[in-house]
Amino acid sequence: MISRREFLQASVAASALYGVSGLGNWSKLAAQQALTQDDLLRFDTFGNVSLIHVTDIHAQLKPIWFREPEFNFGVGDVRGLPPHVTGQDFLNLYNLTPGSRDAYALTYQDFAALGQAYGKMGGMDRIATVVKAIRADRPDAILLDGGDTWHGSMTSYLTQGQDMVNIMNALGVEAMTSHWEWTFGTDRVLDLMGQLNFPFLGQNIYDVEWDEPYEDIPSYTYFDRGGVKVAVIGQAFPYTPIANPRWMFPEFSFGIRDERMQEMVDEVRADGADVVVVLSHNGFDVDRKMASRVSGVDVILTGHTHDALPEPVLVGETLLIASGSHGKFVTRLDLDVRDGRMMGFRHKLIPIFSDVIEPDAEMAAMVDAERAPYQAQLEEVIGQTDSLLYRRGNFAGTWDNLICDAVMSERDTEIAMSPGVRWGSSVMPGENITREDIHNVTSMTYGQVYRTEMTGEFIHTILEDVADNLFNTDPYYQQGGDMVRLGGLAYAIDISKPIGERISGLTLLRTGEALDPARSYTVGGWASVNEGTEGPMIWDVVEEHIRKMGRVSAEPNGSVTVTGI
Amino acid sequence: MLTRRDTIAIGLGASAVALLPVGAYATTTEEAIAAYTGGAEMAEGGVTITAPEIAENGNTVPISVEAPGATEIVLIATGNPTPNVGRFTFGPGSGAPMIATRIRLGRTQDVMAIAKMADGSFASTAVEVKVTIGGCGG
């Protein structure tokens, strides 16, 4: 049904069009001259249905720097398979040229240098330009948002998600699903849901008390487009009440619930759907497994794990699409749907190079209006960095090291713990660190920095527990976060082992001694899921630390030794 | 999954459903199984447990079991200090042999269901439910 040639049509825009761009050709001017908006948007309209997918924008209204992961290991059956391919291996797999725009957009190598040439990515005004261009070409294209939209910036925190709801309504989103949205709490989520011009989907969002689908949240919706009935089924992040504070939305239960997903697929098929799309926040490996267990799904628009893949991954006859995060990419997927089935597709992961794509004036004005009340707070310079600050990766990035240093220093602890979230933009070497930059890596509704005591044994238990959420060989037990980041502590991890056997060699860095299981240590951390956690907010702690430092420099600290890869 | 109506229907049939302790002194999973089956062979299949892969709240984990043709279902939390959860019996007026309840799980463990069929034979299945500290997903 789907030929290799159609896969080849699916490569990233710039590589297909421009192939080689010399490593010496790094000046910004040359980069801009070589690539135009038309090049990025060029697409031979195909079939009769177009899907536009954005996901995991994390409330980034403006273009940002975002370094893709250096370490993104897969275990078990998916070891070495996309999206668990990074750096040079990624370039080889997708036939990309080192130093090219695509290499910059999709991998981590030479990020700071390439960033100078190719500029920031994303921005809702640029995304609006792309969406409008696709709709000019295919007026009834369906725009779908995979969630993690309302959370992740200072303005989304201060407006409790209002800025993003306004923007996504204006962008013309036609359905969304959810995860971090829930951290605004039940009342606010229901309030914002009521303001949406489009459905908030989730077949796996249940009423805790009755253990049945929550009646005000639809499982799916239909679109009659191009003479075709398109069903879009929503799948929220299954582990929202575990990875995030359940007490903030105690009325709701989630879970994978793939048996009900099958029921929903059967129901919409019986109701005449010609093509079935799942708008998912499962995470890539969970979606890949779900695709092998649920039949009748044509397309899964994946989310949560922030993977950007220039080609779809095919499981049976189901296409898995991964559209990246933070507004760096928009996916256009054209489908040929005939006789009640998907006959073919054409795919393009459109990189949002903010210096190449013209901002949409209307959306730019709207973004600026949303930010205007907070402009002075956002732009205040707190310090400077001499090194690249980034987070994304299975183990600590330099931002995490700086945050852990801030916690240990400001809260006077021996050890710091920082959550392995996958969101958070980067800051380039030599740049100012603004308050907005700090919020971009810390913003949340439960950011209190606790100070407590934990025994060495308990710390070990936590690390084993979190490692199993990441490296369990059954994707259904993975929660899609990265490893918890540690300050003051070194350890070794064998990712091929089962729970209880992965972590060893825990060493307190300040003494160089092995962590004593029986001794208590002072630990500072943030993002506790426990109700009633007390302490100053993490962004204030980090700001205070950076102010004292003036200039910071955070390097990869090499305190984690990884084996079993 | 159970719908609200099914739950109510099961409630109405309660006259025929009795919740009995399995073996009053059984303290381990092996003892609980032996006490119930008398060491008889247990077939695989014919019993379906629906449970979350990871518990959202270990104190109240929704578990449902279906065993077409069963006259009794015994539920065992293999990793709890007291593994016996309950024995559910189905008489002629009970409707489908299906139960739904919520149980407390002290740690990650297998939840096991044993069905006694009308001919006196046994069938069983087990699923792992993970109980996690959580808090770092992103």
Same domain, A345 and A437: no
Three-state DSSP class for residue A377:
helix
Q: CB within 8 A of A339, min separation 6: which ones?
A: none
Residue of A137, A146, A215 lying closest to A174 (CA atoms): A146
Which of B50, B57, B136 faces A469 most closely, judged by CB atoms? B136
pLDDT in tens, chain A (565 residues): 343 333 434 333 332 222 222 222 333 444 545 788 888 888 989 999 999 999 999 999 999 999 999 999 999 999 999 999 999 999 999 999 999 999 999 999 999 999 999 999 999 999 999 999 999 999 999 999 999 999 999 999 999 999 999 999 999 999 999 999 999 999 999 999 999 999 999 999 999 999 999 999 999 999 999 999 999 999 999 999 999 999 999 999 999 999 999 999 999 999 999 999 999 999 999 999 999 999 999 999 999 999 999 999 999 989 999 999 999 999 999 999 998 889 899 999 999 999 999 999 999 999 999 999 999 999 999 999 999 999 999 999 999 999 999 999 999 999 999 999 999 999 999 999 999 999 999 999 999 999 999 999 999 999 999 999 999 999 999 988 999 999 999 999 999 999 999 999 999 999 999 999 999 999 999 999 999 999 999 999 999 999 999 999 998 878 999 999 9
Q: For residue A60, is it within any domain?
A: yes
Min Cα separation A28/chain B (Å): 33
CA atoms of A55 and A66, how far apart (whole Å): 15
Does the beta-carbon distance from A244 to B137 stay under 8 Å? yes
Distance, C-alpha A229 to centroid of its chain: 30
pLDDT score, position B133 = 74
Residues of B in contact with A482 (CB under 8 A): 136, 138
Same domain, A416 and A346: no
Distance, C-alpha A117 to centroid of its chain: 24
Per the listing, tokens 């959810």 go with A178
CA atoms of A176 and A164, how far apart (whole Å): 12
Number of domains in chain B: 1
Under a CB-based contact definition with an 8 Å cutoff, are residues A289 and A280 in contact? no
Does the beta-carbon distance from B136 to A237 stay under 8 Å? no
pLDDT score, position B2 = 46
Token pair for residue A170?
A: 């204006």
Same domain, A271 and A407: no
CA atoms of A559 and A537, how far apart (whole Å): 26
> Which of B8, B53, B63, B102 has the most A C-beta neighbours within 10 Å, making it the best mutation to test the interface with A?
B53
Chain A contact for B24, CB < 8 A? Answer: no
Under a CB-based contact definition with an 8 Å cutoff, are residues A460 and A468 in contact? no
Per-residue pLDDT reduced to its tens digit, B95-105? 899 999 999 99
DSSP secondary structure of A223-238: EEETTEEEEEEEE--T
Q: For residue A514, is it within any domain?
A: yes
Rounded (10°) angle between helices A124-137 and A162-171: 20
Residues of B in contact with A421 (CB under 8 A): 136-138
Q: For residue B135, is it within any domain?
A: no
Q: For residue B45, is it within any domain?
A: yes
Same domain, A442 and A361: no
Same domain, A51 and A72: yes
Beta bridge partners of A508: A489, A513
Q: For residue B138, is it within any domain?
A: no
Q: For residue A9, is it within any domain?
A: yes
DSSP for residue A537: B
Same domain, A88 and A31: yes
Q: Count other Cβ atoms within 10 Å, centred on residue B43.
A: 13
CATH of the domain at B64: 2.60.40.2470
Distance, C-alpha A496 to centroid of its chain: 25
Q: For residue B137, is it within any domain?
A: no
- Between CA B16 and CA B19, with CA B17 as vertex, the angle to 5 degrees is 145
CATH of the domain at A437: 3.90.780.10
Three-class DSSP labels, B39-68 = CCCEEECCCEEECCCECCCCCCEEEEEECC
Q: For residue A263, is it within any domain?
A: yes
If you measure CA to CA, which chain A residue comes closest to B52?
A255
CATH of the domain at A154: 3.60.21.10
CA atoms of A437 and A97, how far apart (whole Å): 30
Which of A212, A257, A480 faces B137 most closely, judged by CB atoms? A480
Number of domains in chain A: 2
Structural domain of A536? 380-563
Does the beta-carbon distance from B56 to A419 stay under 8 Å? no
Residue of A95, A104, A100, A14 lying closest to A68 (CA atoms): A104
CA atoms of A117 and A30, how far apart (whole Å): 8
Residue of A479, A346, A438 lying closest to A157 (CA atoms): A438
Does the beta-carbon distance from A257 to B1 stay under 8 Å? yes
Does the beta-carbon distance from A529 to B132 stay under 8 Å? no
**What are the φ/ψ torsions at residue A450 (nearest 5 degrees)?**
-85, 160
CA atoms of A543 and A440, how far apart (whole Å): 12
Min Cα separation B136/chain A (Å): 5
- Between CA A283 and CA A291, with CA A288 as vertex, the angle to 5 degrees is 120
Q: Where are the beta strands (DSSP E) in A303-424?
A: 313-315, 318-322, 329-338, 341-351, 381-385, 415-418
DSSP secondary structure of A207-221: ETTTTEE-TTS-SEE
Rounded (10°) angle between helices A284-293 and A258-270: 60
Residues of B in contact with A210 (CB under 8 A): 4, 7
Min Cα separation A296/chain B (Å): 20
Q: A with B: how many residue pairs have Cβ under 8 Å apart?
A: 86
CA atoms of A509 and A490, how far apart (whole Å): 7
Does the beta-carbon distance from A241 to B57 stay under 8 Å? yes
Pairing of strands A275-280, A299-302: parallel
Same domain, A392 and A492: yes
If you measure CA to CA, which chain B residue comes closest to A479?
B137
Structural domain of B30? 4-129
Same domain, A252 and A353: yes
Q: For residue B63, is it within any domain?
A: yes
Same domain, A388 and A353: no
Q: For residue A70, is it within any domain?
A: yes
Does the beta-carbon distance from A466 to B136 stay under 8 Å? yes
Q: For residue A375, is it within any domain?
A: no
Q: For residue A112, is it within any domain?
A: yes
Residue of A462, A464, A466 lying closest to A481 (CA atoms): A466
The pTM of the whole model exceeds 0.80: yes
Q: Environment class of residue A552 by beta-carbon count within 10 Å: exposed (0-12), middle (13-18) or buried (19+)?
A: buried
pLDDT score, position A195 = 98
Same domain, A194 and A226: yes
Under a CB-based contact definition with an 8 Å cutoff, are residues A346 and A47 in contact? yes
Same domain, A60 and A95: yes
CA atoms of A274 and A549, how far apart (whole Å): 60
pLDDT score, position A297 = 97
pLDDT score, position A198 = 98
CA atoms of A289 and A478, how far apart (whole Å): 11
Per the listing, tokens 């229901």 go with A190
CA dihedral of A274, A280, A284, A290, whole degrees rounded to 10: -60
Per-residue pLDDT reduced to its tens digit, B82-126? 999 999 999 888 889 999 999 999 999 999 999 999 999 999 999
Q: For residue B87, is it within any domain?
A: yes
Q: For residue A374, is it within any domain?
A: no
> ipTM of this predicted complex?
0.83
Same domain, A344 and A411: no
Chain A contact for B11, CB < 8 A? Answer: no
